[in-house]
Amino acid sequence: MWGWVRGIGSRVTGGARAEGRAVPEERPHNLFEAAAAYVSACAEDDQDRIDEAAGWVSPEALSFGVNELACRAVIALARERDESPRTVARALLGLPAA
């Protein structure tokens, strides 16, 4: 009889209790994680990691994330150097000061 009762409980919960402990679900990567992984892999010239990170999100989302990362990095460097973001961006790209 108790086996029958346990069987009902498993059917109601979908057996999630036993399965949930054995195999944790992997959460999806967000666009900022993908951008950080992609840019750091590019900086280290690691093609395998570049390809992996590029597959985490759509190309549009990755582009947005990389753009946001670039903006934040330039702002952080500008504050650190006490320079304008424009000056820092041009210096990072090797362009003459405007």
Encode pLDDT of 80-97 as tens digits.
Answer: 999 999 999 999 999 998
Rounded to an integer, the average pLDDT of 7-35 is 67
Confidence of residue 28 (pLDDT cuts 50, 70, 90): confident
CA distance 45 to 67: 19
Q: Under DSSP, is residue 18 helix (H, G, I), strand (E, B) or coil?
A: helix
pLDDT confidence tier of residue 61, bands split at 50, 70 and 90: very high
pLDDT at 12: 55
Asked if the model's pLDDT at residue 21 lies above 60, the reply is no
Q: How many CB atoms lie within 10 A of CB 53?
A: 23
